[in-house]
Amino acid sequence: MAQELKILIINGPNLNLLGKREPDVYGNQSFGDYFSKLQFQFKETELSYFQSNSEGDLITKIQDADGVFDGVVLNAAAYTHTSVGIGDAIAAVSVPVIEVHISNTFARESFRHQSYISKHATGIIVGFGLQSYELAIKSFL
């Protein structure tokens, strides 16, 4: 029997407000509700979830995932465009990281076109709403 994949989803700042914050951009579903649907959909995969508004906590979680998880799905949110440290953390670990964004960042303000993560990520998925997470998980299967 094949070993169950372990995938960690990491969400950055303000993503704890999904369902309330800018529903025209991010939708009206909470991530907790969506995560339950992902767990049901990917029953053969061990999914874990972490969210923080603090850059250092996100970096530590990425570092701690190395050698423990088979993949990381990362939505660093606003830190995508500002955090050299998160990019460096991804470069320092061997666990593959898929960068995801709910909105199409390239259709938004120009400062959102820059990512300090993309260079180090295994792949990037943007603009498919919450389905971006599903597509990222499928990339590990």
Respond yes or no: is residue 101 known to be catalytic. yes
Respond yes or no: is residue 120 known to be catalytic. no
Backbone phi, psi, residue 124, to 5° = -135, 135
25-34 burial: b if 16+ Cβ within 10 Å, else e: ebbeeebeeb
108 known ligand binder: no
Closest CA to 52 of 19, 14, 83, 90: 14
21 known ligand binder: no
Question: For residue 62, what are its two tokens?
Answer: 């990425």
112 known ligand binder: yes
75 known ligand binder: yes
Among the listed residues 79, 101, 116, 133, the single catalytic one is 101
Among the listed residues 26, 34, 79, 116, the single catalytic one is 26
Closest CA to 111 of 132, 137, 81: 81
30 known ligand binder: no
Supply the residues annotated as catalytic. 26, 101
Q: Which residues sit in the known binding site for substrate?
A: 75, 81, 88, 102-103, 112
Residues making up the binding site: 75, 81, 88, 102-103, 112
